Amino acid sequence: MGVYLLLGDDEERKARGVEKLRKSRPAEIYDAAESSPEAIISACNSNSLFGEGTFVLVKNLGAWNAAQKAKIVDYVKHPSPEADLIMLGTKLGTREKLLVAVKEAGEVHNFEQPTGKALARWAVGYAKKLGLVMSEDVAEELVARCSDDKTRVARETEKLALYATESATMGDMEAICPPDSQSNIFAFVDALGMRNWRKALGLLEALVGTGEPTLRIVHMIQRQFRLLARAKALFAAGMSRSEVASTLKIPPFVARKLEEQAQKLGEEDLEKALALTLELESGLKGGSDLGEELQLELAILELS
């Protein structure tokens, strides 16, 4: 029995880590945003009805403040010999008392999610375990469609293994792995950065086809350009990708994509894009007599 801290943004590996520690035991699962430290400590000190040791899992560790974490620190110093306490979070400061306490009394594991080409290579390997041949080109396109979300990449790879049986082609992937809105927005901004209005219009059609309201699509595009403008300024100030991710409170893969896009679009481009999207928003709210999709298409032609 022990205390474990699983950190990082690789939810797929963390989930496998939890299952390895659980060893098929019943789990008592808590969310730190909804449960108090006292409730978790009480669960750890309760005897299991099955005689296998209590397995207590706490998700969303970052929801607790310092005072709440301090109560868990006290428990960690004298943990129940009959319980396993597993806590899941994304990041703790190197000097945080909880991190120090678990390092001394238990185990700390960091699971950082691969992105881009590294995630594509992981997908190729995962497909191989499922008996599916997947080329790196197909894997890279799958990763892009899933916005670098490893959990979704794994799920879509499993679907491909059932659908394609032996070898996955681009056609197979396009048939059963639709791109999410996030990946379409990234691709859309990329197309604008390359002045490729034909591709941008095609991606716009795909976004509209997902059923997203037109005004929401515009808000998503606005948010992307605002993030891009802030990221460009932070990178220009000498910040690293991880520092930008922390400052903007975005996942590392989003920071990587923003860095790539910031190199394609200048400050004037971003100012023009933001001004146009604000004008478009006004038009969609009744400021124009044109149809919604026509307004979008005209704005894209001007942006490109």
Range of the domain at 296: 181-303
Same domain, 98 and 152: no
Same domain, 213 and 292: yes
- Please give the backbone phi and psi of residue 39, each rounded to the nearest 5 degrees, phi first: -65, -40
Look at the chain and report how many structural domains it folds into: 3
Same domain, 88 and 159: no
Is residue 8 helix, strand or coil?
coil
What is the pairing mode between strands 3-7 and 27-31?
Answer: unpaired
pLDDT given at position 261: 79
Spatial separation of the C-alpha atoms in residues 106 and 77, rounded to whole Å: 10
pLDDT given at position 249: 80
Same domain, 201 and 290: yes
What average pLDDT score do residues 78-95 get?
90
Same domain, 204 and 145: no
- Return the DSSP state at 284: I
Q: What is the CATH number of the domain that holds 197?
A: 1.20.272.10
pLDDT tens-place string over residues 49-80: 555 678 999 999 989 999 999 999 999 999 99
pLDDT tens-place string over residues 243-267: 888 888 876 667 877 888 788 778 8
**211 phi-psi bin (left φ>0, alpha ψ -120 to 50, beta other):** left
Q: What is the CATH number of the domain that holds 85?
A: 3.40.50.300
Same domain, 96 and 127: no
Same domain, 189 and 243: yes
Same domain, 220 and 292: yes
Among 206, 194, 215, smallest CA distance to 260 is for 194
- Return the DSSP state at 266: -
Spatial separation of the C-alpha atoms in residues 100 and 152, rounded to whole Å: 33
At 52, list the tokens.
């296998």
